[in-house]
Every structure is written in structure tokens, then in C-alpha cells.
Amino acid sequence: MDSAPQPRSAGARRPNARGHGELLRAEIISSAVHMLDEFGDDEGLSLRAVARALSVSPSSIYLYFPDRDALVLAVMQHCHDDMLAAADEAEAGHEDPASRLLARMLGQAAWAGEHPGLYKVMHESKVSRQPGMPFKEAMVSRTTAAVQECMDAGAAPAGDAAAVALDLRAAVIGMLSLRINEPGLPWPPLAEQTTRLLNKLVGFAPPIGGA
């Protein structure tokens, strides 16, 4: 028997009107997002549990997702897009390239802090290691462009922006994952640690944040 917890009550639900199938698909993804944020891992998710949460038959889920992994991948794309939008929004409020890059990293960090379970699924689950997820490239390309802007403006030494962006990605993902998984450690303030990583890996001159 499927014993996965249900994040919301399964009350009576009206069927979507004809032509509104995409609405049901969005509801399926939204329900799975909620569950995965609760679980912090994709292994506990089942299509039947999602169907119960939405008060629909399992066959309704299969109309949109042939298996559980397909649904998890759809959730991951949704989450990557949402985190990317958060980073873009944070960056937009700053003028100079160094401040924009810092704001972008802090925007990602804020999203991870609000959705720690989803962040674990995005970076630590078995599904996250599967190929065929081109949506992950968007975050890398935006960070690379932001690093290149810093180099072009003279805020950072010239170099391989793509390599620096990958170093930064590894450092930030590691930092955020450790903060989520080991909250009891004496972590410094997030902005302080993120600024220190940027100063070291990007090489801001002068260093930002007074570091």
C-alpha cells in the first residue's frame, strides 16, 4: 500500500472543462512540487499519491506523465525556471556588474532557503543525475554572462568566464547543500560567506563587501 504522506486534503474536485487539460497538468506539477519540498527526495513520490491529493484517478495523471520520473523531471524544470527567475529579479535591482553578480548568487540562495527540500531534489536525488535536462544550462549561461560582464568592466581579471562560472556553481551549490543538510554547524551569515566566495573565485578588485 502506498503510504506516502499527503500534503493537502483530498476533497471533492470538479473535473476540468473540456479544453482545460493544461490546467490539470499544472495542478499535477504544483502538487508534486509541494510533496517533493516536504520529502526532500524524489523516492517517496508516486503518481498515485499525487492523484489522491488532487482527487483524480491515477489514469488522469498518466495522460500527462507516462511514469513517475517524467513527473519529477517536469517538477525539476519548473523549479529551475523559478530559481532562475528569482536570480534574474535580484540582479535587476543593481547597476554595477560586481553587485549584480552578488545579487544573482544571493537570489539563488534565498530561493534555496525558501525551498530546501526542492533544492535537495534538484541537486542530490538520483533523478537529478539523469541526462536530458537542458534547462539546467540556463543558470550556467546566465552566470557565465554575469562573470564576463565583470571581466569586461575591469571589476575582475580577464580569463575564462565559463570556467570561473563553473567553479562558482560548484562552490555555491556545495555551500547551500551543506547549509541545508548540516544546519547545526556555526555558519557565518549567508551574504558574508557568498561575498567571500565571489571575491576568491571571481577575483574582484577591489574586493566587494569590504572583504
Which residue intervals of the chain bear CATH 1.10.10? 21-68
Residue 72 has pLDDT above 60, yes or no: yes
Task: Provide the whole-model pTM.
Answer: 0.83
Give the number of other Cβ atoms within 10 Å of residue 152's Cβ: 12
Residues 194 and 4: their CA atoms lie apart, in Å, by: 36
| Region for residue 55 given its phi and psi (left: phi exceeds 0; alpha: psi -120 to 50; beta: otherwise) | left
Longest Cα–Cα distance of the chain, Å, equals 61
Domain 75-210 has CATH 3.30.160.340: no
Mean pLDDT value across residues 49-67: 93
Residue with cell 526532500: 40
Residues 53 and 20: their CA atoms lie apart, in Å, by: 19
At residue 20, the pLDDT reads 55
- Fold observed for domain 21-68: Arc Repressor Mutant, subunit A (1.10.10)
- pLDDT digits over 145-175, tens only? 999 999 999 999 999 999 999 999 999 999 9
Which residue intervals of the chain bear CATH 1.10.357.10? 75-210
Residue 10 has pLDDT above 70, yes or no: no
First to last CA, the chain: 55
Residue 9 has pLDDT above 80, yes or no: no
Residues 169 and 167: their CA atoms lie apart, in Å, by: 5
At residue 199, the pLDDT reads 96
What 8-state DSSP symbol labels residue 135?
G
